[in-house]
Structure 1
Amino acid sequence: MEFVGSHILSIDQFARTDIDKIFAVAAKMEPYAQRERATSVLNGAILGNMFFEASTRTRVSFGCAFNLLGGEVRETTGFESSALAKGESLHDTARVLSGYSDVIAMRHPQAGSVSDFASASRVPVVNGGDGVNEHPTQALLDLYTIEKEMRGRKRELDGLRIAMIGDLKFGRTVHSLVKLLCRYRDVELHLISPAALCMPEALVEMARSAGHTVQISENLESSIAHVDIAYSTRIQEERFGSRAEADLYRGKFRLNQSVYTQHCEPNTVIMHPLPRDSRADANELSTDLDGNPNLAIFRQADNGIVIRMALFAMILDVVEQVDKHSHPVRWYTGSRF
């Protein structure tokens, strides 16, 4: 695809070669994300960060990614603080705010809403999650994480064995990740969920049509026995009619150190898009795994910065200028990385 000036709305836009390009640029962004260098390549540029649904990591990650490229961020969070609460349409909001920004990152609770917004926007729009539909940048950072973790184990993405666990019906992160994995060869997908929260059939058929092996199960222990990646997701409470309805499924598939030791291969990587629900009645990914070196959830979150930096640099056509506008970091950075 042509990245310059383009919207990023769906995994459907990407060929495998496009993913390779994004990952190559993301790798170049790592010295900046890790505060080894700083760049001012987007000095004067403005990101409109429009999040009409709760978010911590994605919203802050988009903002930090743009700041690390030297740009500035203007935020709108929640319906109540926007003109949408006064009845303004997404079309009108897009027309107005795209006049104030050079690029927009947007999250909205309705499937397809970000695409509708983008159709009226005068600047590129990046989908930060639209209801139960897609979360393309999360899938990209997930796959980037998987590629890095597998590289350390002398493995490739082709032939990957992955278990997806939990709410696969409403979890947009796994929807986008399944689509992304269809660009690769000979993937084994183990889909573990309650029957009522299974992966949408269209995505299952897409994976099978791509030549992948798909196993559907309600048994956690046997399904994670021979996988490279155990990808856990929380119950998407906000997609249910009530908390009581969500509670019917909460805590059904709990991955803790005991289950991991008994049933997983020694180097199985543990992933989660976050936030993990650590409440006692959920605890789908136990904190007793925090000392496990194969727990990749925080490396995964860090990788969101470089993926989003890469997309901004590619959309705004500054990839080749990033280093030219760089300088040493002048502040204390500690040992975070």
Structure 2
Amino acid sequence: MKHFLNLKDIPANDLRKIVLDAKKRKQKRKNFHTLDVDKDSPLKGKLLVQMFEKSSLRTRLSFYLAIKQLGGEALTLRPDELHLTKGGESLADTAKILSTYGNGFMLRTDNDKKLEEFSKHLTIPIINGLSPLSHPTQVLSDIFTVEEIKKKPISKLNICWIGDSNNVLNSLIAASVKFSFNLNIGCPKNYEPKKFVIDWVKKNKRKINIFNDAKNAALNADVIFADKVMSLNDKVNKIKKSRDFKNFQINSKLMSIAKKDAIFLHCLPRGSEVSDNVFLGKQSKVWQQALNRVYVQKSILLYCFEKLR
């Protein structure tokens, strides 16, 4: 079995295999209905247990469909239903039960240490469905989407991120090292990536380009990424943060600085960081991006179950 916790800890060759497998599986799904099982049904009889400590729409749906299309089943647990949060049951004992009943565990958590602890005690694979420090399944799916649309390896493209330095950006930075692509980051001065993230990039002899000006970051970009800047759970001065990001909205003027055939991607939900005419415009590929998560989650599951061809 293999865990899927963070892109930086997974060999580049394995990440590439996942993307290639997802491409093959998507091609084979033509004329299939949503709940039709893949012909090879590689995970028949397997149970994926999902638990969400934070709200989820795309991750929840995509993993549910992924395991179903592979021939398995999914069970979703709520944290408030478990003794782990209310009854004082230890994480180690909870992991033992999960390993006894399930074949895989997908966790969306508000605590990275919890992911690490579960990985130590589980005897089944664990997948990070989002944590405060990373969102690996989202970004690997985004790599797939970029290459599908651009029809070339992402290493030959200029990638741009405009916005806050958050968990999605951390994973995109890790991906820039693993897939060897050029990454420009546009953000206000006090919202740059953390030092430990930049140090890891340097340790791996790669470089990311940080600009405190959105226009310089977007210049000649093939892809512009964004995420919601103002989260409901942000424990910050929202008026100040909104003011700080005033000049970092992705609008038609900013997109015009990128290449003519540049695309816009956003992991959703959206906020004021992108204008309606960009989000709903021809350059936006957000719905294709969201759907592709199903195909990549399938290949991630196969990787974890060591059934990737």
The interval holding the TM-score normalised by the smaller chain is 0.7 to 0.9
- Counterpart CA distance in 1 for 2:284 and 2:199 is 30
Using the TM superposition, give the Cα deviation of residue 318 of structure 1 relative to its aligned residue in structure 2, in angstroms.
4.2
Alpha-carbon contact 1:108-1:129 (below 8 Å) kept? yes
What is the rounded CA distance, in whole Å, between the counterparts of 2:31 and 2:89 in structure 1? 41
Q: Aligned pair in 2 of structure 1 residues 236, 207: CA closer, same or farther (>3 Å)?
A: farther
For residues 56-88 of structure 1, the C-alpha deviation after alignment (integer angstroms, 9 at most, x for no partner) is: 1112211111111121111013x3233213333
Q: Does 1:22 find its partner at 2:18?
A: yes
Residue of structure 2 aligned with 1:194, choices 162, 175, 188: 188
The Cα of 1:290 is off from its aligned counterpart by 4.2
Structure 1, gaps ≥5 residues long: 278-282, 321-337
When residues 314 and 216 of structure 1 are mapped into structure 2, their CA distance, relative to the original with a 3 A threshold, is closer
Counterparts of 1:254 and 1:286, CA distance in 2? 7
Quick check: 1:45–1:71 contact (8 Å CA) kept in 2? yes
In 2: Cα distance, 1:27 partner to 1:198 partner: 33
Deviations 1:36-72 (A, max 9, x none): 3632443322110111111111122111111111211
Aligned to 1:183: 178
- CA drift of 1:27 comes to 1.4
Question: C-alpha distance in 1, partners of 2:238/2:230?
Answer: 8
Residue 156 of structure 1 corresponds to: 153
More displaced 10-residue stretch of structure 1: 205-214 or 42-51: 205-214
Give yes or no for the alignment of 1:254 onto 2:253: no
1:270 & 1:197 partners in 2: Cα distance?
21
Q: How does 1:206-285 map to 2 (within 5 A)?
A: 206-235=200-229, 237=231, 240-241=234-235, 245-250=237-242, 252=246, 253-261=248-256, 263-277=257-271, 283-285=272-274
Q: Which piece of structure 1 moves more, 286-295 or 300-309?
A: 286-295
Deviation at 1:209, TM superposition (A): 5.0
Q: 1:6 matched to which residue of 2?
A: 2
Q: Secondary structure at the match of 1:98?
A: helix
Question: Which whole-Å CA distance do the structure 1 matches of 2:112 and 2:255 have between them?
Answer: 35
Aligned residues: 300
What's the RMSD between the two structures over aligned residues? 2.3
Q: Aligned equivalents of 1:202 and 1:76: distance in 2?
A: 33
Q: SS of 1:148's equivalent?
A: helix
Structure 1 residues 86 and 248: alpha-carbon distance in aligned structure 2, compared to 1, 3 A threshold: farther
Change (3 A) 1:109 1:291: closer
Query: Secondary structure of the equivalent of 1:248?
Result: helix
In structure 1, give the amino acid aligned to 2:20: A
- For 2:238 and 2:258, how far apart are their aligned partners in 1? 28
Equivalent in the alignment of 1:305: 294
Residue of structure 2 equivalent to 1:42: 43
Identity %: 23
Query: Structure 2 counterpart of 1:223, which letter?
Result: A
- The structure with more helix, counted as a fraction of residues: 2
Residue 265 of structure 1, CA deviation: 2.0
Which segments of structure 1 move beyond 6 Å, counting only runs of 4 or more? none
The one-letter code of the counterpart of 1:136 is P
Unaligned runs of 5+ residues in structure 2 are none
